[in-house]
Structure 1
Amino acid sequence: MASRRCASALWLMPCRWRLGYGIRPFLPPQLAPVARSYQGPEFRSAASRHYGGGAESNEKALQIQRKKMLYQARNRGDPLLADFLVGFVEAKGLELTLEDGESWAKLMECEEEFLMNLAAAKIEVPEDLNSPLLGRLQEFLAAGPPRKGLTGDSPWGR
C-alpha cells in the first residue's frame, strides 16, 4: 500500500467505514489532549467552553435528551408502563436536567416489572438506581393518573 506524506498540520488517521486513510485537521493545543482521549460529553463541554457556546449547547442537549426520553418511554414493552412514562416525560420533561438523563438511562435498562415496582415503591431501591429522578417518578405516580381517562372515567365529561 502506498503511503502519503502530510504537512505538519495534518496527520493520517485510519478511516472506520472504508479502507484507506483520512486526514484529520490539527487541533489547538488546548483541545488536543481531550480529543485524543475522546470522552463523549466531556469533549463536547470542553469544546463549548473553549469556543464560548455553553448555554446554547446545554439547551440543545436538554431538548435532545427530552426527545430521547419520550422515544424510550413510548417503546417500552408494557403499554401501561409506556403510558405512565410518556405522561411523566410530558408533565415533568421541562424540569429535568442532564444528570437526570443519566439516571433515566439506568432506569430504562431495567425490566418492565422491576421498573413498575420501583415506580410504585413496592420494592427496596438499589443504590445504583436511587436518584432524585426516581423520587420524582414515584411522586408523579402517587399523585394520580398521568392523563384523564386512565382510571375508566370519561375524558369528555358528562
Structure 2
Amino acid sequence: MAEALLRELAGHRFEAFSAGPEPAARVHPLAITQLRPGVSDLGVLCPKSWLEFTGEWAPRMDFVVALDSGVAAPHAPVFPGSPALSQWNLANPLADDVIEPERARLFDKVFWQIVRQLSAFIDAPQYAVPRASGAATQCKHSCTGQFANL
C-alpha cells in the first residue's frame, strides 16, 4: 500500500518500490480494496523480493522504510548506496493471530497510518520541492517502502 500511495501522492517527486523478505504470490485483495477508490495505477503493483534491490543493477535508494520491526535494520539486506533506514511500526493485517472479521478493519487502519506517515515524509523540509525563479524544478528521490507482505 505504501508504494501505491507514495506514487499517487508525490509520484512526480519520488520513485517508489515495495519489497519484502518473503513476497506473496499477489497483492492481497483487501489491500487492493483499500487502494482502489483513490489510486489510479494499481496495475504496476506486484509483490517483490527485497533481494531484487541489492545487486549492482538495482536502483539506488535514498531512503528505505521498514513497516515491521521484524524486517528492520539487523534483518534487512545491504542496499546499494547506503540509504537512510527508517522504521514505521505498523500492525500486520496478515498476522496469524488476526481473526478474519477484524482483518478488513485492520487493513483500513494500516492504510490511514501509512497515509499519515507518507504525508509527513513528503512534507519534510529535506524533500521539499525547491522554488526557482522562472522555470519549475523538481526534486527527485528514490524511496522504497513496505518490507511487509501487505
Q: Output the TM-score relative to the length of structure 2.
A: 0.25
Higher relative contact order, chain-length normalized (CA < 8 Å, sep 6+): 2
Q: Output the TM-score relative to the length of structure 1.
A: 0.24
Q: Which has the higher helix share?
A: 1
Which protein has the larger Cα radius of gyration, Structure 1 or Structure 2? 1
